[in-house]
Structure 1
Amino acid sequence: MTAARPTPIGPPDAATVPRYVNATTFARLPRLDQVGRADIVVAGVPFDSGVTYRPGARFGPNHVRQSSMLLRPYHPMLDIAPLTDFQIADAGDFAVNPFSMDSTIESITNGARELISGGARLMTIGGDHSIAFPLLKATAEQHGPLAVVHFDAHLDTWDIDFGSCHSHGTPFRRAAEAGYTLRENCLHVGIRGPQFEKEDLAADADLGFQIVWGEWFDELGIKGVIARMRERLGDHPVYVSVDIDVLDPAFAPATGTPEAGGFSSRELLALINGLAGLNVVGADLVEVAPAYDHAEITGIAAARIAYELISVMAVDLHQRATVAEFAEATPAEVTEAVIAEVGAGGSSPVAGDMPFAAVER
């Protein structure tokens, strides 16, 4: 019905090319310089000079890439094949300055601007959580103020760490102060454990964040948390930030500030899956410190989380492409496509239904 887009280049066939050969990219995807353009770009930020406890997240991007070799193209829960239905590419790593936070913030901002300037969505692998501030800045410049869902054990809305206004504990305060976030549409999910002081919670609320405490999870359940997220985020452009320490240390030991009582991998994947259908325009996954990993436990969880985030972005791209396709179609073409869709057991895309299993379950 519309002009055909170039056929995406996906990962090589694992039945003919072993997963462990050739240069390591995320999910064995092509490099950005090999394809020229992409719907979704994966980039690494090997920077951990903002940490306040265990270092090592600067080695996170390549560890997550190495742990992503077994990812496969088709996502049965969302009925979409993000790695082959869309052009996704690995752009490599942003240049960072391990001795300068200010220089690194500038490099990340400029690098992200360049990658998303043509409309691509960015999946960033860190690095510590300080990288979220420049990523939010670049994304907000492209899409306007953002609804934010932040999966983490910690608030990361503190003001000053060791005399510095930028660290892995401050990015969401800086972003809110700069106007990059929508103060009625942001929330933390998974915060748990002791806090510095009660006043931190009031300051966090003043910045526009609601909290879904990790300690509430057994009572709310997966469906309850998803409902709260979707209600809070609304139909705004959404940015998703995932600190791997939102998982319990049993599922993600390789992180700088582990906190007992976190989500299981399955629970977090289900929560991210529940974002399908929202306008997710960017995401980051941070704080994987491979020196503390064993048998790639954390890396494998992190790679799957990144895949899930890419998948929910792909769902939104699919929806928008479908709407655009029908907007340009003749009435006869619309009728023909609806009959074919319903006859195949799907639901009518012009009726506003979401034919993805995650939303229907």
Structure 2
Amino acid sequence: MSTFNQPLGGNEMPRFGGPATMMRLPTQESAAGLDAAFIGVPLDIATSNRPGTRLGPRQIRDESRMLRPYNMATRAAPFDSLQVADIGDVPINTFHLPKTVDIISAFYDEVLQHDCAPLTLGGDHVITLPILRAMARKHGPVGLIHIDAHADVNDHMFGEPIAHGTPFRRAQEEGLLAHGKVVQIGLRGTGYAAEDFDWCRQQGFRVV
């Protein structure tokens, strides 16, 4: 009988102790043998306002120590049938955004070689683009559910084609997204023109 990794329980080790991993799961260096892997991308060099999302993966992991492995409403017990571990953070280049985008994409290429589902802890919004590039190389164009106040389809920001507000325009231009299978939910942020969300609809995105 297979033995699946389990989050460290609060009756085995106090919640304030144990490994600082997602749900205090075991760690391993690669995605080999895993059905799903938690991955951190500690990045905020693509933001145009305040920094701080580089600390997101660490904080998410810290808060996750309070999670238990069973969903009492749905009776879902994912750790009873899936092998899951925390494989750490992508070693980004915090001084060079284009290089970092390539580093992220290559990291996910390796993860996907193992037919492992990556579960990402970010990180600013730009990380979606290199992850989608890797996913599309593996699977072809993919569907997307994007929950956000903004559409993140700017053509450029400060003259740069890759920034936290541009990933879904680049993804659409590069053919990474499956036609008719993109939904953007919660778009409500203020904009610069009445047409700001129209580009999305013109691409066949469903805007909610």
TM-score (norm: length of structure 1):
0.55
- Contact 2:31/2:111, CA 8 A, preserved across alignment: no
RMSD, aligned α-carbons: 1.6
Q: Is residue 199 from structure 1 mapped to residue 195 from structure 2 by the alignment?
A: yes
SS at match of 2:64: coil
Q: Is residue 119 from structure 1 mapped to residue 119 from structure 2 by the alignment?
A: no
> 1:213-263, CA deviations, whole angstroms, 9 ceiling, x for partnerless residues?
xxxxxxxxxxxxxxxxxxxxxxxxxxxxxxxxxxxxxxxxxxxxxxxxxxx
Task: Tell me the equivalent position of 1:169.
Answer: 165
Paired with 2:89 and 2:95, the residues of 1 have a C-alpha distance of 17
Structure 1 ranges of 4+ moved more than 6 A: none
> Unpaired segments of 5 or more residues in structure 1?
213-361
Task: Tell me the equivalent position of 1:185.
Answer: 181
> 1:308-357, CA deviations, whole angstroms, 9 ceiling, x for partnerless residues?
xxxxxxxxxxxxxxxxxxxxxxxxxxxxxxxxxxxxxxxxxxxxxxxxxx
Q: CA deviation at 1:36?
A: 4.8
- Partner amino acid for 2:116? A
Paired with 1:68 and 1:124, the residues of 2 have a C-alpha distance of 14
Paired with 2:205 and 2:94, the residues of 1 have a C-alpha distance of 30
Match of 2:35 among 31, 35, 39: 39
CA change 1:162–1:61 in 2 (3 A) is: same
Task: Tell me the equivalent position of 1:101.
Answer: 97
Match of 1:25 among 18, 21, 39: 21
More helix by share: 1
- Contact 2:30/2:111, CA 8 A, preserved across alignment: no
Paired with 2:32 and 2:200, the residues of 1 have a C-alpha distance of 41
Q: CA deviation at 1:195?
A: 1.6
TM-score (norm: length of structure 2):
0.94
- Number of aligned positions between the proteins: 208
Task: Tell me the equivalent position of 1:12.
Answer: 8
> 1:254-297, CA deviations, whole angstroms, 9 ceiling, x for partnerless residues?
xxxxxxxxxxxxxxxxxxxxxxxxxxxxxxxxxxxxxxxxxxxx
Paired with 2:31 and 2:127, the residues of 1 have a C-alpha distance of 26
Q: Decide which structure has the larger Cα Rg and report it.
A: 1
Q: How does 1:133-172 map to 2 (within 5 A)?
A: 133-172=129-168
Task: Tell me the equivalent position of 2:46.
Answer: 50
Task: Tell me the equivalent position of 2:68.
Answer: 72
Paired with 1:86 and 1:76, the residues of 2 have a C-alpha distance of 18
Q: CA deviation at 1:210?
A: 1.8
> 1:191-212, CA deviations, whole angstroms, 9 ceiling, x for partnerless residues?
1132211232222223332210
- Contact 2:31/2:114, CA 8 A, preserved across alignment: no
Q: CA deviation at 1:84?
A: 3.6
Greater shift after overlay, 26-35 or 131-140? 26-35
CA change 1:166–1:22 in 2 (3 A) is: same
Paired with 1:55 and 1:145, the residues of 2 have a C-alpha distance of 31
- Partner amino acid for 1:119? D
- Contact 1:182/1:208, CA 8 A, preserved across alignment: no
SS at match of 2:38: strand
- Contact 1:9/1:35, CA 8 A, preserved across alignment: no
> Unpaired segments of 5 or more residues in structure 2?
none
